[in-house]
Amino acid sequence: MWNRREKDKIRKKIFTNIQELGIIKKYLCLPGEDVLCIKTGKSLGVFTTDTHILAYENNTSIFQKIKNNNILTDFNKLSLHHQDITESQHKNIDFAFLDFCGTLGVKEAMWLQELLNNGISRNGSVAITMLWGPQTPPQLYKLAQKFFKNNNTYEQHILSSFKNSIGMPIDKDINKFIPCFILCCVLQNHTFDTAYVYRYKDLGKRTMQVIQLIGIKKSQKNNNFPSLEKILQQGGEKQKMKKANVDWSEAGRKSWETRRLNMKKKKRSDAAKRAWVTIRKNNGG
Ligand SMILES: C[S@@+](CC[C@H](N)C(=O)[O-])C[C@H]1O[C@@H](n2cnc3c(N)ncnc32)[C@H](O)[C@@H]1O
């Protein structure tokens, strides 16, 4: 489903923007099976052979492919982990390219918050991919709706905050709001020097956006967004989440997968019915 051409362009722009930071000493990433971000960083001179690269992959077969990629041997300090990145902890990261394959779920958001608070070096940078639309975890969707109903000024707040600080106007579709709202909450105690937003359609025509923040600093609360903890608590979901240890983003992805499979099955059964009618007709039935 991914749009290779668009993604290549965006990846290159991201690393070109990062060139202004000089050589990256410590890079955190989800390299994916072709390890394209590491290749791009190397070809643009953002990494040297001494850049400390921390790479994560949670899918076993993709992990094996990455492991066998020769480019890994070009780096003296590269560690590849077969692990979910949201279960890792970091310090002094200069640049993190968090190219998740889906929307920003609660689990990723909580982890990103911790990374920004304690894992990114002063003036470090982060680029994060977010998907709009049906993959939004349903629980998050419900929470955000509840939140907006109780705080009707927030829609306006998000619209202006994104336009002013991230430089991107968003439309008022709740699906598009949610990842932006969550990112605003995550960023509430941070400022950054520059932000770039790239938007593109993947081949399934879903809208993806990549947000790149350069020069991140901790600050006094710089906007009035609620903390993630607060919105979870307000929805009464935090306890539930703890109790059931639910992985929300995973649950969202699974429910989307199930819907897709059911759609496919329905199409198949419709096709089977049509074929059966044809066979009956042909047999004079
Ligand atoms: C979109 S690809 C990365 C592409 C690459 N960054 C590039 O520049 O082309 C994302 C990869 O991260 C893996 N992934 C997604 N979420 C993850 C997570 N939470 N922990 C570890 N790996 C994850 C996926 O299996 C996939 O291989």
6 lines ligand 1 (CB under 6 A): no
Distance 102 CA to ligand 1 centre (A): 9
Please report the pLDDT score of residue 256 as a whole number.
Answer: 46
pLDDT digits (tens, 9 = 90+) for 60-80: 999 999 999 999 999 999 999
Ligand 1 mutation target, pool 34, 100, 203, 253, most atoms within 8 A of CB: 100
Q: What pLDDT does residue 64 have?
A: 97
Rounded Cα–Cα distance for residues 70 and 34 (Å):
11
Residues 177-191, mean pLDDT to the nearest whole number: 81
Residue nearest atom 3 in ligand 1 by C-alpha distance: 32
- Whether residue 11 has its Cβ less than 6 Å from ligand 1: yes
Tokens of 71: 């480019």
What's the burial of 243, exposed, middle or buried (CB within 10 Å: 0-12/13-18/19+)? Answer: exposed
Q: What percent of the chain has pLDDT over 70?
A: 67
Q: Which helix (H) or strand (E) holds 93?
A: strand 93-98
CA of residue 280 to ligand 1 center, whole Å: 49
> Alpha carbon of 16 to those of 22, 23, 270: distances in Å?
11, 12, 50
Number of Cβ within 10 Å of residue 19's Cβ equals 13
Segments making up each domain of the chain, as ranges? 4-243, 247-282
- For ligand 1, atom 25, the nearest C-alpha belongs to 59
Amino acid 112: pLDDT? 94
Paired with 93 in beta bridges are 120
Tens of pLDDT along 238-280?
Answer: 545 444 333 444 554 455 455 545 655 555 566 666 666 665 5
CB neighbour list of residue 210: distance below 8 Å, 6 or more residues apart:
10, 14, 99, 127, 128, 129, 130, 197, 198, 199
Query: 85 C-alpha vs ligand 1 centroid, how far in Å?
Result: 9
- Identify which of 14, 18, 30 to mutate to test ligand 1's pocket (most ligand atoms within 8 A of the CB): 30
Ligand 1: nearest atom to the Cα of 108: 19
pLDDT band at residue 128 under the 50/70/90 scheme: very high
Superfamily of domain 4-243: Vaccinia Virus protein VP39 (3.40.50.150)
Instruction: Please tell me if the CB atom of residue 56 comes closer than 6 angstroms to any atom of ligand 1.
Output: yes
In this structure, which residue's CA is closest to atom 16 in ligand 1? 100
100 ligand 1 Cβ < 6 A: yes
- C-alpha of residue 246 to centroid of ligand 1, in Å: 21
| Between residues 236 and 217, the one the model is more confident about | 217
The answer, as to whether pTM is greater than 0.85, is: no
34 is written with which tokens?
């072709």
Rounded to the nearest whole angstrom, what is the distance from the C-alpha of residue 100 to the centroid of ligand 1?
A: 5
What is the 101 CA–ligand 1 centroid distance (Å)? 6
